[in-house]
Structures are given as structure tokens and as C-alpha cells.
A and B are shown apart, each in its own frame.
Chain A
Amino acid sequence: MPSRLVRNPMPKQDPQERIRNFSEVALGYPEELARQEAARCIKCPKRPCVSGCPVGVDIPDFIELVTKGKYLEAAQKIKEKNSLPAICGRVCPQETQCEIQCTLGKRGEPVAIGALERFVADYERAHDDRDHTVSGDPPDLPNGEMVAVVGSGPAGLTCAADLAKLGYRVTLFESLHAPGGVLRYGIPEFRLPKAILDEEISYVKSLGVEIRLNALIGQIYSIDDLFKMGYKAIFIGVGAGLPHFLGIPGENLSGVYSANEFLTRSNLMKAYLFPEYATPIKVGRRVAVVGAGNVAMDSARTALRLGAEEVTIVYRRSRKEMPARHEEIINAEEEGVKFALLTNPIRVIGNEKKWVSGLECIKMELGEPDESGRRRPVPVPGSEFVMEIDTMISAIGTDPNPLLPKLIPGLKVGRHGNIEVDPETGMTNISGIFAGGDIVTGSATVIAAMGAGKVAARGIDRYLRGSKEQ
């Protein structure tokens, strides 16, 4: 019996094997390991893990059901608070949310809450007789009012699911041809298989949510149109999809992608199956990925799987400041991604065909802390050098997409184009219009967006009941 202080490691595909395929890297706990891991929970009375969860999943309760082998009940317990457990089990940064609060973590390693959530959700998918993949007639709903949810990413899906559970008639508008938002276009197959995303979206549909695809709100319908169509409240969860570029010379050369373009081609359009799927993607021999967040790791690991010989993460700070999840950094390293740290690109160099051929960089050193509390990187004079590359991916973050906010007269937006809301209700300064997720906070996590979707669903419910009473 392993010590209670040490967690059971997540089984993974072998690195040399996995860089040859797009299948999921983490394989999930087998049943026995899941029960062993669940048994590590000491059932402490304060339940600090719950307070660390943005959607307030009753973590100790579902874990106890796992120890008893009641996996379907455990899944139901999670779904009381979280409609997307198979997704969250895979992509939540548990290490900074629930697991960081775990009492066991003070003396040893915290319970692997994320791995258990994933096990439970996967078990339910494999053993639940109800077929969520068929979109039959939605359940009979009480005669609730109509609510429009704009954007089918984590915030929109959660808001829609919670509203549907409360009996509202919800239409979810998505501009792309498939729902899921960043879960669909941003997160690669090897971290979140699309079949799992489809399944969880089917669950949301089974609650009675109608999903309208190819519907870019602001263009096909204005916000006013939606109110005229009978929607009594609108939730905006359109994310932060506007890619940043570095603003250095040569960034528009061919062979320079934003991470959004690179990942959208691979994930949403399935370019890794080209030419069976018609969308092309071109990755050369030597790839530089600028940035060190999760999106940078996803881009680097995708490039490797697409056949690049050498993929380097270029990051201006040091390893300690890398924003990506530790687990993903380790995965990338195991797969052979190289790291050029304290290195800042200053110019993209092109050949006669205007195709990228090199990246001029300068070495950096860390100075005094800046406003983010991290030590500010300062260029080392005379340390310029050129990295030979033929593909560059810019993964330095995104801003809220201004497309919809700028079309809503009088809507209060912040400095970065983020919509401002009342944190208690998710309501904007315009009555009946709510917002949440990355469009409010700027680029953040899936679970934070889900938390915001939940808050707004409660806010919308209160608002609509209030307007009924008047």
C-alpha cells in the first residue's frame, strides 16, 4: 500500500510514441487506481478544496462515492455543480484551484482531484445507458422565458446549462460551424479529444438548450434584434479571441502564424488529417514558438506531431515565470520541445520569397519586479543572435474580441475592450445584458469562465423573476 502522502501518478502514453500521433497523452486512471487515489482523501471537516473550485463542486462527497465504487452517483454529484466534468478533469489547472487547498498537500501531495473527476466522467460515458449523442426532442420545459447565450465556449455552455436546469428556454448562438469555443479551436486533440467535447455538449443539449451554429451575433442579428425576437435576457460569452502580435518587423511574413490560426487549423479544421480534411497547415523543419503559456505548449506540441524536427519555445523571462501548467511544461519537455529562456525576439527575417528564414533575438536578464510582481526582463546589450527557423508561432496572449462589444451602443467596456460587469450578478451596465468569461476578465481559465457563466445564470434568473414581479 503506497504512503497516503504520495499520489498515484497519471498513466501516460510514452513520449516517443505519442509524438507520432494525436491521441490523448494522459490515459486516465484505471478503476483500481482511482479507488486507491480516492481513499487518500482524509475527509477533513473544513473541505477547503470546495472553496478552491470556481463552480463549487462538492469534491469530498464525489470522492467518497468513488471509494464506495458508486461511480455513476459520483458523476451525478459532480454534475449538480459542473456540467462539463470530463473537460474540467482534463484541462482545469487543479494545482492552483482545488488541489492547492487540499489539507493533504500541506504534508505531502494533494489528492489528484482532477484525475478522479476525469475518471468519474469517463466511467459515466462508458457505462451510462442514456444516449446523449442523439439530439432528440428537448425535455418538456416549464413555460420559461427565452434567454439568448452568445458564444458556446465554457462560459456560454455553463450559463446555458444552468439556465435550462432552471426551466428557461435557452438558445446558444455560435459563430463557428461547431460548438465549444476555445475548447474546440484552441485545445488540441491530445489534451482534450473532440469526442469528449461532443459528448458533453450533447449533455447540455439534452437539458433542452438549442444551439444555433454559423450565427455571428452583431452581424446576422444585433442585440436589439434578439430582444425583439423575444429573448428577455442575453448573456455574452464571446471570449478573448483577438490574437496579439509582438509588433516587431517581419511578423506578416509567410510562415508566421498566430497561435490561434495554427491551432484553429489543426483543432477545429482537423488539418492534421490533411488532405482527407481540406484545410492545409504548413509546418517547417525548425519552429519557434514565442510565449510560454498553455497555448504556447499546445502549439509547440502540435508542431512536433505535424512533423517539425526542432521546436523551440522562446520566452523572455525565466523558467520560474512560465505561465503554462507545470504538467504541460513537463509533457512538452518529455516530447523534446526545446526552451530558449530569457530570450526576446526583436525581428523576423525573411528570404527572397517573403518566407520566414530566421528570428533575431536578444538575451535578457531579470531586473526589478514589474506591475505583475514578476521580475522585469531587461535586454543584455550586444547579445543579439539569429535563430534559423522556417516557421514561427506567436503565442503571446489574446485580447477580448471587440467585434460585438463595439456594436452595442452605451455598453461599458474597459481599457482592453473587456466588458465591465457587476461581479455579483454578471450584469453589464445595460439592463438585461449579462457577460462573463474571457470577454470580461481577458484571457483566463476554462473553469473561471464556467464560474462566471454560473454567476450570470443566477443573476439572469434573479433579474427575470424580479422583472416578473414588477
Chain B
Amino acid sequence: MYRILSKEVLAPRIKSFQIEAPEIARKAQPGHFVIVRLDKKGERIPLTIADHDTDAGTIELVVQEVGRTTVQMGLMKQGDYIMDIMGPLGIPLHIEKVDCVVFVAGGLGVAPIYPKAKRHFEVGSHVISLIGAQSRDLIIMRDRMEKVSHEVRYSTDDGSFGHHGFVTDILKEILEQSTKVDEVIAVGPLVMMKAAAMVTRPFGVKTIVSLNPIMVDGTGMCGGCRVTVGGQTKFACVDGPAFDGHQVDFDELIARQSRFLEQEKTAMQSFLEPSSGQEECRCHRG
């Protein structure tokens, strides 16, 4: 059981949790994630470790309410317990000083970007952060990102803050203006990461994306999170979650992410109206 020490609303439907998990905090590094199961009937979902405090023995998880489990987690309060958290998982991002690194964060992607930007800032890289969201109120962790970046630029789909358009527009502009970008690290919705990789490709700039596919065990056992990278099948949980964005087959992954759309709607409905779906025969044969 893992206790929620505090909860903060970062934006509509986006919540941050400080969770007591000293053993995980001791080992956490930028790029690590955990598998979370809320209760005994819960599913296992991967969540990035957005921040950790080794001394306090805490990890931070940031969740956007999109499906049954994230909505359920959003309802949890300070003092509540999460049943299972396993981690840290995945291969942490190898970070060493570079002249200039550009971070591209879309929506909730700021959460996984933050620990990586923080580490780059600490080792002395010049950090440029580009943060995109649908609208101004969905831009999260602004103060923290500004503390660990030398330069931050914003974009919103509706033009309510910063550049009116996509975050990848700014990325393109920067690459056109400067020859000094060593690497780009992009995290966000799959379509955004795909677009970022397309923007950087002609410039030949190393581009790392962090994938968040559907997972079950998170230890390399089920292959549910498999993704094609450079023509090879990789498991995001143990070979990733970070990969070379120029090598990832995004279209395949986008299709794989929608495998359970129908069931996800059912799950949501049954969570919101617990009586529905309980009366029917459960052998699926009528």
C-alpha cells in the first residue's frame, strides 16, 4: 500500500500526487516510470515518475483523467492508499552535458520532460523548453519548467497563450535559426511526437521520444507494449521507454494504442454507473 501524501490540481483534469514510496524514490532517475494498480479490481497502468525526493522518500505522479483508472485516481485524496506501485522501471535516459538541448512537451508530456530537463540543467547543458497545450489553462508545471530552462516558449492550439498553433512550429523555427541544437527530446501525444520527429529529420538532429504504450506487466513478459523501432520489435517497458524518434513506427503504435477503445468506453461507463454491466451473464456467451 502506498500513501498519497498530497494532491494538487495542476489544470482541469490534470492532477499531481506526492506518494510515499521510499524504496522507489531511492532508485528513481529521469526517464523511469512505474506501474500502478489502484485497487484489487484495478488494471495496471504505466505512469512516468515526474519527480522524486530521495530524502523525503516520495515520488510524484502526474495524471490526466482520460479513462477509468485515471478518473478513479483523480478522485483519490490525501491520506488515501494506492494498492500497488511497482518500479522504477525502464531504462533511465542517459544524460550528459551538451551545448544545447531542446525539449518539446505536449500537454501532459511536461511531466515526463521535467526530470530530464532538470538533470540537463544541473549538468550544465543549455536548455530550451517548448511547451504546447490545447489552451492556456492546460499548461502545467510552468514555474518548475522555467526554473530548469534557460529559455521557455509556449504554444496553444487556440492561441490563448504564446504561439497560436503547434509546438512543432516553434521547434522548426528554432532549428532553422540555429545550427547548435545537439538533441531534441520530445514527449507528448503520439501525433505530436511523430510531428516532432518529422520536423527534426531533415536537420539530422538526434531526437529522443518517450513512448507510453499500453502495458500489462511492465517487466518484458507480455509484449503488449511492443513497438517497431528501426524495423525491429522492441518492448517499450524494458528496451525503452525512450527511443530514437526517427526510427519509431508511429502509425503502427497509434493503431495499437486504440486496440481497446471500445472496452475502455465500457469500463468508464461501468465505473461511473457501477450497477451497469453487473447483471449480465459474465461468460460472454449469453
**Are A and B a genuine interacting pair, yes or no?**
yes
The chain A residue sitting closest to B89, CB to CB, is A219
CA distance A177 to B40 in the complex (A): 9
A424 at the interface (CB under 8 A from B): no
Q: Which of A59-67, A88-96, A162-170, A251-259 has 4 or more CB atoms under 8 Å from chain B?
A: A251-259
A462 at the interface (CB under 8 A from B): no
User: Closest CB of chain B to A13's CB: distance in Å?
Assistant: 13
The chain A residue sitting closest to B38, CB to CB, is A278
Within 8 Å by CB of A214, from B41, B69, B84, B262, lies: B84
**Number of contacting residues on B, CB 8 A?**
51
B270 at the interface (CB under 8 A from A): yes
1/0 contact string of A297-312 vs chain B (CB within 8 Å):
0000000011100000
Contact of B219 with A216 in the complex, beta carbons under 8 Å: yes
CA distance A220 to B32 in the complex (A): 11
Contacts A22-B283, A220-B23 given: A278-B267 contact, CB under 8 Å?
yes
Interface of chain B residues 266 through 286 with chain A (CB within 8 A): 266-267, 269-271, 277-278, 282-285
CA distance A133 to B262 in the complex (A): 38
A128 at the interface (CB under 8 A from B): no
The chain A residue sitting closest to B284, CB to CB, is A307
User: Closest CB of chain B to A344's CB: distance in Å?
Assistant: 20
CA distance A176 to B224 in the complex (A): 16
CA distance A242 to B235 in the complex (A): 10
Judged by DSSP, the binding face of A is loop
Contact of A214 with B222 in the complex, beta carbons under 8 Å: no
Contacts A252-B256, A254-B258, A353-B255 given: A214-B220 contact, CB under 8 Å?
no
Contact of A279 with B27 in the complex, beta carbons under 8 Å: no
Contact of B222 with A280 in the complex, beta carbons under 8 Å: no
Within 8 Å by CB of B84, from A213, A257, A273, lies: A213
Residues from chain A with Cβ under 8 Å of B27 in the complex: 219-220
Contact of B86 with A273 in the complex, beta carbons under 8 Å: no
1/0 contact string of B57-77 vs chain A (CB within 8 Å):
000000000001100000000
Interface of chain A residues 252 through 295 with chain B (CB within 8 A): 252-255, 257-258, 260-261, 264-265, 268-270, 272-282
The chain A residue sitting closest to B237, CB to CB, is A403
Interface of chain B residues 9 through 28 with chain A (CB within 8 A): 23-24, 27
Within 8 Å by CB of B233, from A214, A252, A255, A272, lies: A252
A20 at the interface (CB under 8 A from B): yes
Contacts A272-B282, A274-B267 given: A216-B86 contact, CB under 8 Å?
yes
Contacts A220-B87, A265-B216, A276-B270 given: A260-B238 contact, CB under 8 Å?
no
Size category of the binding interface on chain A = 35 or more
User: Closest CB of chain A to B190's CB: distance in Å?
Assistant: 13
Residues from chain A with Cβ under 8 Å of B224 in the complex: 257-258, 261
B174 at the interface (CB under 8 A from A): no
Contact of A280 with B220 in the complex, beta carbons under 8 Å: no
B263 at the interface (CB under 8 A from A): yes
Contact of B283 with A260 in the complex, beta carbons under 8 Å: no
The chain B residue sitting closest to A254, CB to CB, is B259
User: Closest CB of chain A to B85's CB: distance in Å?
Assistant: 6
Interface of chain A residues 5 through 55 with chain B (CB within 8 A): 19-22
Residues from chain A with Cβ under 8 Å of B88 in the complex: 219-220
A441 at the interface (CB under 8 A from B): no
In the complex, given contacts A264-B222, A354-B251, what are 7 additional A-B residue pairs having Cβ atoms less than 8 angstroms apart?
A: A219-B87, A252-B256, A258-B224, A261-B224, A280-B263, A305-B283, A307-B284
